[in-house]
Amino acid sequence: MSERSGVGAVQVAILEALAARPGRGFRSNEKLLSQAEAQIGLPPWYAYPVLVDLAQPWKMPITLVEGQGNFGSRGNDPPAARRYTESRLSDAGRVVLGAEHRELAPVPVGLINGTTYRDGTQPPFRPLAVIEAIRHVIRNPKATRRAIIDIIGPPDFITGCTVTGDLAAFAAGRPTELRLQAKLTISADRRSVIVENIPPNISTDDAAMSIVKRAQQTSDPGQPSPLHTATRLDVRDVRDEGSWRSPDRIVCTPAAGVSPEDVLDQLTRVYGVYTTIYVALPRSLPATIRQWVKANEGEDLPTSLAALETAIRRRPNSRH
């Protein structure tokens, strides 16, 4: 990971290739990736999944690339081949390159985005919370551990799922498991339970299929009672109502005589509506922030942090 931004070498090479073309227009991914792969000695086609990660808006809080064309979906639809898609730098991507080129002081993009989107163990955080925590430590070098933890808050995934678990252990730097759960609400007319904000490490298609399978299991009266109880999901209809505006939306209609509250409670035990994720930081959260500030003493951090904040706020529909 780069010491200037926390971004990986392949990611930086992709950003460099995008920046090599004057202007802010979109560029063919086939051409720019060939350039990036040749630059750092990668085998052909290796870099495309990395670029897709940088562009998909549900993967990480700070997207460094803006994509044009089919970059896949929250379901199981894969992105189109790279010859059919185009990319350009996002405002945040330009800030990262500014830091890499020493035109700006370092920025904590890697710390904010984490690595869980690529099956790593460091989760993402709210971007502006991390920026504020760093500013707080700069202003108050003796800031308490509690103050830093309170400013940053828990890990925050871009889909808006609920995060629970031993958050104190995580903040202390101890490996732990977190539970990520979709948002469950009862419709105004009480005829359905709506599943939204599905965890990012499961596709919306897989979540819907998991619900359907659990609903089908209740239709077999011959199941032994303990198994029937364990798999019970009293719904008579499951509809995936996701759209490009709201990709995470599954509507479950309770079976006759079953209250929506009971279905909501049952859904909390359906894997797919919830998932678990193993997380760990190299050191405690306060120590991570302090070390980042200390490593960049003498740099104009207020200016680079302001530039990153501006880029983040410019992104529409982002979770700050």
DSSP state of 43: P
* Cα torsion angle, 156, 72, 193, 177, sign: negative
pLDDT number for residue 226: 41
Q: What is the pLDDT of residue 318?
A: 60
Question: Other CB atoms closer than 10 Å to residue 132's CB: what's the count?
Answer: 15
What strand order describes the sheet that includes 27-28? Answer: 27-28, 86-89, 65-68
DSSP E strands, 20-64: 27-28
Positions of the chain with pLDDT under 70: 218-231, 316-320
* pLDDT recorded at residue 31: 85
Around Cβ 16, how many Cβ atoms within 10 Å? 18
In angstroms, how far is CA 39 from the centroid of its own chain? Answer: 28
What pLDDT score was predicted for residue 228? 41
What structural domains and CATH numbers belong to the chain?
A: 9-122+299-314 (3.90.199.10), 183-272 (3.30.1360.40)
| SS3 call for 74 | coil
